[in-house]
């Protein structure tokens, strides 16, 4: 199980929605809006499943770095 994460629009922090799901289930979720009380800023956010990601998933790491070492 992985935790569904969203980005807090006020602080820019990744915050947990306290929802846990399997990656295979998460990928098949319809685009629905959900509400949560944000632990980062204390306000309520409406978030979409399409803008959420799973903790530990590649999307969390957005900095690009060379994936392969190419032998010259």
- Residue 25 or 51: which CB sits closer to Zn ion? 51
8 near Zn ion, judged by CB under 5 A: yes
Work out which of 6, 38, 52, 54 binds Zn ion, going by CB under 5 A. Answer: 38
Place of tokens 């295979």: 24
- Residue 41 or 55: which CB sits closer to Zn ion? 41
- Residue 17 or 49: which CB sits closer to Zn ion? 17
Concatenated DSSP letters for the chain?
Answer: -EEEEEE-TTT--EEEEEEEE-HHHHHT----EEEEE-TTTSSEEEEEGGG-EETTSGGG--S---SS----
- Binding residues for Zn ion, rule CB under 5 A, total 5
Question: Given the rule CB under 5 A, which residues bind Zn ion?
Answer: 8, 10, 38, 40-41
């Amino acid at each position: 199980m992985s935790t569904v994460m969203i980005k807090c629009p006020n602080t820019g922090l990744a915050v947990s929605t306290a929802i846990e799901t399997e990656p295979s289930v998460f990928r098949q979720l319809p685009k629905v809006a959900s509400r949560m009380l944000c632990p980062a800023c204390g306000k309520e956010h409406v978030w979409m499943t399409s803008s959420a990601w799973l903790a530990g998933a590649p999307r969390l790491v957005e900095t690009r770095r060379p994936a392969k070492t190419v032998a010259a």
